[in-house]
Amino acid sequence: MFSWLGHLRVLPVSNARLFGVLHLVDALIHSEMKGCVTLSKFFNDFVVGIDVSSEFSVVAMLEPNGSLIRKPFRIDHNPKGFNKLLEILKKEEERLKQKPIYFVESTGIFHLPLFFFLRSNDLKGFVLNPLSVHSIKNFDLRKVKNDAKDAESIARLAKFQEVKYSLVPEPQILALRMMSREYYAMSDMLTEMKNRLCTDLYLLFPGYLDVFGNPFGKASLEILKTYSSPRALSEVDSSELALMISKISRKTVSWANKKVNALLEITTQALSMPMEFDILSLKIKTHVENIENFQNRLDGLIDQLKVMIQSPDFPAKERRYIELLEGMPGIGFLTAVTLIAEIGDFSKFHSPKAFVAFFGIDPSVNQSGKFNGDRNKISKRGTRFGRRVLFTAALASIRTTRKGDAINPVLRDYYHQKCENKKKKVALVAVMHKLLNYIFAVLRDEKPFALRSPKDHQSWRHTKETALKLVA
Protein backbone atom coordinates (compact mmCIF):
# COMPACT_ATOMS: atom_id res chain seq x y z
CA MET A 1 0.00 0.00 0.00
CA PHE A 2 1.09 3.54 -0.73
CA SER A 3 3.63 2.38 -3.25
CA TRP A 4 4.22 5.92 -4.43
CA LEU A 5 5.81 6.93 -1.10
CA GLY A 6 9.16 5.51 -2.12
CA HIS A 7 9.26 7.82 -5.15
CA LEU A 8 8.62 11.04 -3.24
CA ARG A 9 11.56 13.34 -2.70
CA VAL A 10 12.29 15.56 0.25
CA LEU A 11 11.46 19.03 -0.96
CA PRO A 12 12.50 22.32 0.59
CA VAL A 13 9.19 23.72 1.82
CA SER A 14 8.57 26.96 3.68
CA ASN A 15 6.28 27.08 6.69
CA ALA A 16 3.82 29.05 4.65
CA ARG A 17 3.49 26.17 2.15
CA LEU A 18 3.58 23.32 4.67
CA PHE A 19 -0.19 23.13 4.66
CA GLY A 20 -0.16 22.83 0.87
CA VAL A 21 2.27 19.91 1.00
CA LEU A 22 0.17 18.14 3.63
CA HIS A 23 -2.87 18.66 1.45
CA LEU A 24 -1.02 17.06 -1.47
CA VAL A 25 -0.02 14.04 0.62
CA ASP A 26 -3.57 13.68 1.94
CA ALA A 27 -4.94 13.75 -1.62
CA LEU A 28 -2.45 11.11 -2.71
CA ILE A 29 -3.36 8.83 0.22
CA HIS A 30 -7.06 9.08 -0.58
CA SER A 31 -6.36 8.47 -4.27
CA GLU A 32 -4.35 5.36 -3.40
CA MET A 33 -7.24 4.08 -1.26
CA LYS A 34 -9.56 4.52 -4.21
CA GLY A 35 -7.21 2.55 -6.43
CA CYS A 36 -5.87 5.46 -8.50
CA VAL A 37 -3.03 7.93 -8.04
CA THR A 38 -3.75 11.48 -9.21
CA LEU A 39 -0.14 12.64 -9.09
CA SER A 40 0.60 15.12 -11.87
CA LYS A 41 2.37 13.64 -14.87
CA PHE A 42 4.72 16.64 -14.74
CA PHE A 43 5.93 15.71 -11.23
CA ASN A 44 9.50 14.95 -12.39
CA ASP A 45 9.72 17.64 -15.08
CA PHE A 46 11.33 21.04 -15.40
CA VAL A 47 8.21 23.20 -15.02
CA VAL A 48 7.80 26.91 -15.75
CA GLY A 49 4.86 28.97 -14.47
CA ILE A 50 4.09 32.28 -16.19
CA ASP A 51 1.77 34.91 -14.74
CA VAL A 52 0.68 37.00 -17.73
CA SER A 53 -0.52 40.59 -17.80
CA SER A 54 -1.06 42.97 -20.70
CA GLU A 55 2.43 44.52 -20.83
CA PHE A 56 4.69 42.05 -19.01
CA SER A 57 4.85 38.58 -17.49
CA VAL A 58 6.45 37.14 -14.37
CA VAL A 59 8.18 33.77 -14.70
CA ALA A 60 8.85 31.14 -12.02
CA MET A 61 10.95 28.04 -12.77
CA LEU A 62 10.92 24.80 -10.75
CA GLU A 63 13.62 22.16 -10.85
CA PRO A 64 12.61 18.51 -11.25
CA ASN A 65 12.90 18.18 -7.45
CA GLY A 66 10.38 21.01 -6.95
CA SER A 67 12.69 23.77 -5.71
CA LEU A 68 12.84 27.23 -7.25
CA ILE A 69 15.73 27.63 -9.69
CA ARG A 70 15.86 31.37 -9.06
CA LYS A 71 13.60 34.12 -7.84
CA PRO A 72 10.65 34.78 -10.17
CA PHE A 73 11.65 37.40 -12.73
CA ARG A 74 9.87 39.79 -15.04
CA ILE A 75 9.95 39.95 -18.85
CA ASP A 76 8.43 42.66 -21.00
CA HIS A 77 6.07 41.80 -23.84
CA ASN A 78 8.39 42.79 -26.66
CA PRO A 79 11.00 40.97 -28.76
CA LYS A 80 13.76 41.79 -26.27
CA GLY A 81 11.75 40.36 -23.34
CA PHE A 82 10.69 37.22 -25.22
CA ASN A 83 14.27 36.49 -26.33
CA LYS A 84 15.51 37.07 -22.77
CA LEU A 85 13.12 34.37 -21.51
CA LEU A 86 14.09 31.99 -24.31
CA GLU A 87 17.79 32.45 -23.54
CA ILE A 88 17.24 31.69 -19.85
CA LEU A 89 15.12 28.61 -20.60
CA LYS A 90 17.67 27.24 -23.07
CA LYS A 91 20.47 27.74 -20.54
CA GLU A 92 18.57 25.86 -17.82
CA GLU A 93 17.63 23.17 -20.33
CA GLU A 94 21.31 22.49 -20.98
CA ARG A 95 22.06 22.38 -17.25
CA LEU A 96 19.17 20.10 -16.28
CA LYS A 97 19.29 17.99 -19.47
CA GLN A 98 15.49 18.48 -19.67
CA LYS A 99 13.25 20.55 -21.89
CA PRO A 100 11.07 23.02 -19.96
CA ILE A 101 7.29 22.66 -19.98
CA TYR A 102 5.61 26.02 -19.54
CA PHE A 103 2.15 26.80 -18.17
CA VAL A 104 0.17 30.02 -18.50
CA GLU A 105 -3.19 31.07 -17.15
CA SER A 106 -5.81 31.81 -19.79
CA THR A 107 -6.04 35.61 -19.91
CA GLY A 108 -8.13 36.32 -22.97
CA ILE A 109 -5.58 37.26 -25.65
CA PHE A 110 -2.64 38.56 -23.58
CA HIS A 111 -0.97 35.16 -23.18
CA LEU A 112 -1.13 34.28 -26.88
CA PRO A 113 1.92 36.19 -28.25
CA LEU A 114 4.25 34.69 -25.65
CA PHE A 115 2.66 31.26 -25.97
CA PHE A 116 3.10 31.10 -29.73
CA PHE A 117 6.64 32.53 -29.50
CA LEU A 118 7.74 29.74 -27.16
CA ARG A 119 5.91 27.11 -29.21
CA SER A 120 7.62 28.31 -32.40
CA ASN A 121 10.94 27.68 -30.64
CA ASP A 122 10.16 24.00 -30.06
CA LEU A 123 8.96 24.34 -26.46
CA LYS A 124 5.91 22.57 -25.08
CA GLY A 125 3.24 24.53 -23.24
CA PHE A 126 -0.26 24.32 -21.84
CA VAL A 127 -3.00 26.73 -20.78
CA LEU A 128 -4.59 26.42 -17.33
CA ASN A 129 -8.18 27.25 -16.49
CA PRO A 130 -8.38 30.51 -14.47
CA LEU A 131 -10.73 28.87 -11.96
CA SER A 132 -8.13 26.21 -11.10
CA VAL A 133 -5.38 28.81 -10.83
CA HIS A 134 -7.50 31.09 -8.65
CA SER A 135 -8.06 28.31 -6.11
CA ILE A 136 -4.33 27.63 -5.67
CA LYS A 137 -3.48 31.35 -5.52
CA ASN A 138 -5.62 31.63 -2.39
CA PHE A 139 -4.33 28.45 -0.77
CA ASP A 140 -1.92 29.97 1.72
CA LEU A 141 -3.03 30.89 5.22
CA ARG A 142 -1.36 34.30 4.85
CA LYS A 143 -3.01 36.77 2.52
CA VAL A 144 -0.20 37.53 0.09
CA LYS A 145 -0.95 38.55 -3.49
CA ASN A 146 1.72 39.54 -6.00
CA ASP A 147 2.85 38.54 -9.47
CA ALA A 148 5.87 36.56 -8.25
CA LYS A 149 3.76 34.45 -5.92
CA ASP A 150 1.13 33.92 -8.64
CA ALA A 151 3.76 32.69 -11.12
CA GLU A 152 5.13 30.25 -8.54
CA SER A 153 1.60 29.08 -7.70
CA ILE A 154 0.95 28.33 -11.38
CA ALA A 155 4.15 26.30 -11.60
CA ARG A 156 3.44 24.34 -8.41
CA LEU A 157 -0.15 23.70 -9.42
CA ALA A 158 0.95 22.16 -12.71
CA LYS A 159 3.78 20.19 -11.14
CA PHE A 160 2.09 18.68 -8.09
CA GLN A 161 -1.62 18.45 -8.88
CA GLU A 162 -3.57 16.72 -11.59
CA VAL A 163 -5.45 19.65 -13.07
CA LYS A 164 -7.27 20.22 -16.31
CA TYR A 165 -5.25 21.99 -18.92
CA SER A 166 -5.64 22.62 -22.61
CA LEU A 167 -3.59 23.30 -25.67
CA VAL A 168 -4.06 26.51 -27.58
CA PRO A 169 -6.05 25.70 -30.74
CA GLU A 170 -4.42 25.74 -34.13
CA PRO A 171 -3.99 29.28 -35.50
CA GLN A 172 -6.77 28.73 -38.06
CA ILE A 173 -9.25 27.67 -35.38
CA LEU A 174 -8.16 30.49 -33.09
CA ALA A 175 -8.66 33.01 -35.92
CA LEU A 176 -12.06 31.46 -36.60
CA ARG A 177 -12.97 31.89 -32.93
CA MET A 178 -11.92 35.54 -32.88
CA MET A 179 -13.83 36.31 -36.08
CA SER A 180 -17.01 34.59 -34.90
CA ARG A 181 -16.82 36.45 -31.57
CA GLU A 182 -16.31 39.70 -33.46
CA TYR A 183 -19.49 38.94 -35.38
CA TYR A 184 -21.51 38.66 -32.18
CA ALA A 185 -19.93 41.79 -30.74
CA MET A 186 -20.92 43.74 -33.84
CA SER A 187 -24.34 42.10 -33.80
CA ASP A 188 -24.89 43.35 -30.25
CA MET A 189 -23.94 46.88 -31.31
CA LEU A 190 -26.36 46.62 -34.24
CA THR A 191 -29.13 45.60 -31.84
CA GLU A 192 -28.38 48.63 -29.68
CA MET A 193 -28.61 50.92 -32.71
CA LYS A 194 -31.96 49.40 -33.68
CA ASN A 195 -33.27 49.96 -30.17
CA ARG A 196 -32.20 53.62 -30.31
CA LEU A 197 -33.93 54.03 -33.67
CA CYS A 198 -37.14 52.55 -32.26
CA THR A 199 -37.01 54.99 -29.33
CA ASP A 200 -36.69 58.02 -31.61
CA LEU A 201 -39.38 56.73 -33.99
CA TYR A 202 -41.76 56.26 -31.09
CA LEU A 203 -41.41 59.96 -30.31
CA LEU A 204 -41.15 61.46 -33.79
CA PHE A 205 -43.31 58.98 -35.78
CA PRO A 206 -45.90 57.53 -33.37
CA GLY A 207 -47.34 54.39 -34.94
CA TYR A 208 -44.53 53.91 -37.51
CA LEU A 209 -43.40 50.64 -35.95
CA ASP A 210 -46.86 49.19 -36.67
CA VAL A 211 -46.79 50.00 -40.40
CA PHE A 212 -44.04 47.56 -41.38
CA GLY A 213 -43.71 44.05 -40.02
CA ASN A 214 -39.96 44.62 -40.00
CA PRO A 215 -39.09 48.31 -39.46
CA PHE A 216 -35.47 47.47 -40.32
CA GLY A 217 -36.26 46.05 -43.76
CA LYS A 218 -34.88 47.67 -46.90
CA ALA A 219 -38.10 49.51 -47.78
CA SER A 220 -38.56 50.94 -44.30
CA LEU A 221 -34.93 52.05 -43.95
CA GLU A 222 -35.00 53.68 -47.39
CA ILE A 223 -38.09 55.70 -46.42
CA LEU A 224 -36.50 56.86 -43.17
CA LYS A 225 -33.28 57.76 -44.95
CA THR A 226 -35.03 59.71 -47.73
CA TYR A 227 -37.90 61.23 -45.70
CA SER A 228 -36.52 61.36 -42.15
CA SER A 229 -39.09 63.85 -40.80
CA PRO A 230 -42.92 63.85 -40.77
CA ARG A 231 -42.94 67.16 -42.68
CA ALA A 232 -40.79 65.71 -45.49
CA LEU A 233 -42.96 62.61 -45.70
CA SER A 234 -46.17 64.66 -45.87
CA GLU A 235 -44.94 66.57 -48.93
CA VAL A 236 -44.04 63.49 -51.01
CA ASP A 237 -46.20 62.31 -53.93
CA SER A 238 -48.12 59.23 -52.74
CA SER A 239 -47.94 57.40 -56.10
CA GLU A 240 -44.19 57.99 -56.29
CA LEU A 241 -43.78 56.67 -52.74
CA ALA A 242 -45.87 53.60 -53.54
CA LEU A 243 -43.73 52.77 -56.59
CA MET A 244 -40.56 53.09 -54.49
CA ILE A 245 -41.92 50.76 -51.78
CA SER A 246 -43.14 48.26 -54.37
CA LYS A 247 -39.79 48.20 -56.17
CA ILE A 248 -37.64 47.79 -53.03
CA SER A 249 -39.90 45.25 -51.29
CA ARG A 250 -40.61 43.37 -54.56
CA LYS A 251 -44.34 43.34 -53.83
CA THR A 252 -47.44 44.54 -55.67
CA VAL A 253 -48.35 48.20 -56.03
CA SER A 254 -51.67 47.59 -54.27
CA TRP A 255 -49.79 46.28 -51.22
CA ALA A 256 -47.49 49.31 -51.38
CA ASN A 257 -50.49 51.67 -51.58
CA LYS A 258 -51.80 50.25 -48.29
CA LYS A 259 -48.45 51.01 -46.67
CA VAL A 260 -48.50 54.55 -48.09
CA ASN A 261 -52.00 55.19 -46.72
CA ALA A 262 -50.88 53.97 -43.30
CA LEU A 263 -47.77 56.18 -43.46
CA LEU A 264 -49.79 59.27 -44.40
CA GLU A 265 -52.16 58.61 -41.52
CA ILE A 266 -49.39 58.49 -38.93
CA THR A 267 -47.74 61.51 -40.58
CA THR A 268 -50.83 63.61 -39.94
CA GLN A 269 -50.68 62.61 -36.29
CA ALA A 270 -46.92 63.22 -36.11
CA LEU A 271 -47.31 66.80 -37.40
CA SER A 272 -49.16 67.67 -34.20
CA MET A 273 -45.90 67.22 -32.27
CA PRO A 274 -43.81 70.35 -31.48
CA MET A 275 -41.60 71.59 -34.33
CA GLU A 276 -38.56 71.30 -32.04
CA PHE A 277 -38.83 67.51 -32.31
CA ASP A 278 -37.85 67.73 -35.99
CA ILE A 279 -34.23 67.73 -34.84
CA LEU A 280 -34.73 64.03 -34.14
CA SER A 281 -34.82 63.47 -37.90
CA LEU A 282 -31.04 63.96 -37.94
CA LYS A 283 -30.66 61.25 -35.31
CA ILE A 284 -32.92 58.92 -37.27
CA LYS A 285 -30.91 59.48 -40.43
CA THR A 286 -27.68 58.71 -38.55
CA HIS A 287 -29.18 55.56 -37.00
CA VAL A 288 -30.30 54.31 -40.41
CA GLU A 289 -26.86 54.88 -41.95
CA ASN A 290 -25.16 53.10 -39.04
CA ILE A 291 -27.59 50.17 -39.22
CA GLU A 292 -26.96 49.72 -42.94
CA ASN A 293 -23.21 50.04 -42.46
CA PHE A 294 -23.08 47.47 -39.65
CA GLN A 295 -25.35 45.09 -41.55
CA ASN A 296 -23.00 45.25 -44.55
CA ARG A 297 -20.01 44.61 -42.27
CA LEU A 298 -21.74 41.58 -40.73
CA ASP A 299 -22.47 40.21 -44.20
CA GLY A 300 -18.81 40.79 -45.07
CA LEU A 301 -17.70 38.83 -42.00
CA ILE A 302 -19.87 35.89 -43.04
CA ASP A 303 -18.24 35.95 -46.48
CA GLN A 304 -14.77 36.05 -44.88
CA LEU A 305 -15.64 33.08 -42.67
CA LYS A 306 -16.73 31.07 -45.72
CA VAL A 307 -13.50 31.93 -47.56
CA MET A 308 -11.42 30.97 -44.52
CA ILE A 309 -13.13 27.59 -44.09
CA GLN A 310 -12.73 26.70 -47.75
CA SER A 311 -9.06 27.66 -47.71
CA PRO A 312 -6.62 24.72 -48.25
CA ASP A 313 -4.81 25.74 -45.04
CA PHE A 314 -7.93 25.19 -42.92
CA PRO A 315 -7.97 21.83 -41.05
CA ALA A 316 -9.98 19.31 -43.07
CA LYS A 317 -11.40 17.64 -39.96
CA GLU A 318 -12.85 20.85 -38.57
CA ARG A 319 -14.26 21.71 -42.02
CA ARG A 320 -16.01 18.33 -42.00
CA TYR A 321 -17.32 19.01 -38.49
CA ILE A 322 -18.87 22.30 -39.64
CA GLU A 323 -20.54 20.59 -42.59
CA LEU A 324 -21.96 17.88 -40.31
CA LEU A 325 -23.38 20.38 -37.82
CA GLU A 326 -24.81 22.58 -40.56
CA GLY A 327 -26.81 19.55 -41.71
CA MET A 328 -28.63 19.34 -38.36
CA PRO A 329 -32.13 20.89 -38.10
CA GLY A 330 -32.05 24.28 -36.39
CA ILE A 331 -28.30 24.81 -36.89
CA GLY A 332 -27.18 27.24 -39.58
CA PHE A 333 -23.77 28.13 -40.92
CA LEU A 334 -22.82 30.73 -38.32
CA THR A 335 -23.98 28.54 -35.43
CA ALA A 336 -21.98 25.57 -36.75
CA VAL A 337 -18.88 27.72 -37.20
CA THR A 338 -19.15 29.22 -33.73
CA LEU A 339 -19.63 25.83 -32.07
CA ILE A 340 -16.55 24.33 -33.75
CA ALA A 341 -14.49 27.46 -33.06
CA GLU A 342 -15.40 27.34 -29.35
CA ILE A 343 -14.94 23.57 -29.03
CA GLY A 344 -11.45 23.59 -30.55
CA ASP A 345 -9.97 20.11 -30.16
CA PHE A 346 -12.96 17.77 -29.91
CA SER A 347 -10.77 14.79 -28.94
CA LYS A 348 -10.37 16.25 -25.42
CA PHE A 349 -13.99 15.31 -24.64
CA HIS A 350 -14.25 11.67 -23.59
CA SER A 351 -17.94 11.66 -22.65
CA PRO A 352 -21.15 13.61 -23.27
CA LYS A 353 -21.08 14.77 -19.63
CA ALA A 354 -17.71 16.47 -20.11
CA PHE A 355 -19.05 18.02 -23.32
CA VAL A 356 -22.11 19.38 -21.54
CA ALA A 357 -19.96 20.74 -18.69
CA PHE A 358 -17.77 22.59 -21.20
CA PHE A 359 -20.82 24.57 -22.30
CA GLY A 360 -21.87 25.22 -18.70
CA ILE A 361 -25.21 23.46 -19.10
CA ASP A 362 -24.50 20.98 -16.29
CA PRO A 363 -26.43 21.59 -13.05
CA SER A 364 -24.62 23.22 -10.16
CA VAL A 365 -24.60 21.37 -6.82
CA ASN A 366 -25.68 23.11 -3.61
CA GLN A 367 -25.22 20.66 -0.73
CA SER A 368 -23.81 21.02 2.77
CA GLY A 369 -24.28 18.57 5.63
CA LYS A 370 -27.95 17.59 5.77
CA PHE A 371 -28.94 20.41 3.43
CA ASN A 372 -29.56 19.57 -0.22
CA GLY A 373 -30.54 22.47 -2.44
CA ASP A 374 -33.46 21.74 -4.75
CA ARG A 375 -33.23 24.94 -6.80
CA ASN A 376 -29.99 24.27 -8.59
CA LYS A 377 -29.17 26.35 -11.64
CA ILE A 378 -26.85 25.52 -14.53
CA SER A 379 -23.20 26.14 -13.73
CA LYS A 380 -22.48 28.61 -16.58
CA ARG A 381 -18.80 27.74 -16.16
CA GLY A 382 -18.15 26.97 -19.80
CA THR A 383 -17.89 28.98 -23.00
CA ARG A 384 -20.26 31.94 -22.98
CA PHE A 385 -20.39 32.27 -26.76
CA GLY A 386 -20.98 28.54 -27.21
CA ARG A 387 -23.87 28.72 -24.76
CA ARG A 388 -25.28 31.70 -26.64
CA VAL A 389 -25.44 29.98 -30.02
CA LEU A 390 -26.66 26.78 -28.39
CA PHE A 391 -29.59 28.74 -26.95
CA THR A 392 -30.35 30.11 -30.42
CA ALA A 393 -30.16 26.62 -31.94
CA ALA A 394 -32.49 25.23 -29.27
CA LEU A 395 -35.05 27.97 -29.98
CA ALA A 396 -34.84 27.28 -33.71
CA SER A 397 -35.23 23.52 -33.15
CA ILE A 398 -38.58 23.81 -31.38
CA ARG A 399 -40.12 26.25 -33.87
CA THR A 400 -42.15 25.53 -36.97
CA THR A 401 -41.80 26.57 -40.60
CA ARG A 402 -44.28 28.89 -42.37
CA LYS A 403 -46.12 25.79 -43.51
CA GLY A 404 -46.51 24.66 -39.90
CA ASP A 405 -43.97 21.82 -40.04
CA ALA A 406 -41.74 21.36 -36.99
CA ILE A 407 -38.04 22.13 -37.54
CA ASN A 408 -37.15 19.22 -35.24
CA PRO A 409 -40.34 17.34 -34.29
CA VAL A 410 -38.53 15.19 -31.70
CA LEU A 411 -37.12 18.16 -29.78
CA ARG A 412 -40.37 20.10 -30.18
CA ASP A 413 -42.37 17.25 -28.62
CA TYR A 414 -39.71 16.89 -25.92
CA TYR A 415 -39.96 20.61 -25.13
CA HIS A 416 -43.77 20.54 -24.79
CA GLN A 417 -43.60 17.45 -22.57
CA LYS A 418 -41.19 19.27 -20.27
CA CYS A 419 -43.43 22.35 -20.24
CA GLU A 420 -46.25 20.28 -18.68
CA ASN A 421 -44.52 20.33 -15.28
CA LYS A 422 -41.57 22.69 -15.77
CA LYS A 423 -41.12 26.36 -16.56
CA LYS A 424 -40.47 27.21 -20.20
CA LYS A 425 -36.94 28.37 -19.38
CA VAL A 426 -36.15 25.07 -17.64
CA ALA A 427 -37.66 23.13 -20.53
CA LEU A 428 -35.51 25.06 -23.00
CA VAL A 429 -32.36 24.24 -21.00
CA ALA A 430 -33.37 20.57 -21.21
CA VAL A 431 -33.60 20.97 -25.00
CA MET A 432 -30.11 22.52 -25.03
CA HIS A 433 -28.83 19.55 -23.04
CA LYS A 434 -30.44 17.11 -25.46
CA LEU A 435 -29.08 19.06 -28.44
CA LEU A 436 -25.55 18.85 -27.02
CA ASN A 437 -25.87 15.07 -26.85
CA TYR A 438 -26.87 15.06 -30.52
CA ILE A 439 -23.88 17.25 -31.43
CA PHE A 440 -21.51 15.05 -29.43
CA ALA A 441 -22.72 11.92 -31.21
CA VAL A 442 -22.43 13.54 -34.65
CA LEU A 443 -18.86 14.74 -34.03
CA ARG A 444 -17.80 11.50 -32.34
CA ASP A 445 -19.09 9.26 -35.12
CA GLU A 446 -18.39 11.80 -37.89
CA LYS A 447 -21.68 10.83 -39.50
CA PRO A 448 -24.63 13.01 -40.59
CA PHE A 449 -27.41 13.57 -38.08
CA ALA A 450 -30.33 11.15 -38.36
CA LEU A 451 -33.66 12.25 -36.90
CA ARG A 452 -35.12 9.44 -34.79
CA SER A 453 -38.02 9.35 -32.38
CA PRO A 454 -37.26 8.02 -28.86
CA LYS A 455 -38.91 4.70 -29.81
CA ASP A 456 -36.92 4.41 -33.04
CA HIS A 457 -33.72 5.36 -31.21
CA GLN A 458 -34.19 2.63 -28.61
CA SER A 459 -34.81 0.08 -31.36
CA TRP A 460 -31.72 1.26 -33.27
CA ARG A 461 -29.58 1.21 -30.13
CA HIS A 462 -30.71 -2.33 -29.26
CA THR A 463 -29.90 -3.50 -32.80
CA LYS A 464 -26.47 -1.86 -32.63
CA GLU A 465 -25.62 -3.41 -29.26
CA THR A 466 -26.71 -6.85 -30.49
CA ALA A 467 -24.52 -6.50 -33.58
CA LEU A 468 -21.51 -5.50 -31.48
CA LYS A 469 -21.98 -8.54 -29.24
CA LEU A 470 -22.12 -10.86 -32.25
CA VAL A 471 -18.92 -9.34 -33.64
CA ALA A 472 -17.20 -9.73 -30.27
pLDDT digits (tens, 9 = 90+) for 93-133: 999 999 999 998 877 778 888 888 998 888 888 888 776 66
How far out from the chain centre does Cα 448 lie?
A: 24
pTM for the whole structure: 0.76
Of residues 183 and 202, more confidence is placed in 183
pLDDT in tens, 379-395: 777 788 989 999 999 99
C-alpha 455/C-alpha 58 separation (Å) is 58
pLDDT in tens, 193-212: 999 998 888 888 888 888 88
- Taking residues 205-221, what's their average pLDDT? 87
Of the pLDDT bands very low, low, confident and very high (cuts 50, 70, 90), residue 293 is very high
Residue (of 43, 75, 71) closest to 152 by Cα position: 71
Cβ-based burial of 3 (10 A; exposed 0-12, middle 13-18, buried ≥19): exposed
Computed over every residue of the chain, the mean pLDDT equals: 81
- The yes or no reply on domain 42-168 and CATH 3.40.50.970 is no
Question: Of residues 31 and 113, which shows the higher confidence score?
Answer: 113
Q: What angle do CA 365, 368, 374 make, to 5 degrees?
A: 45
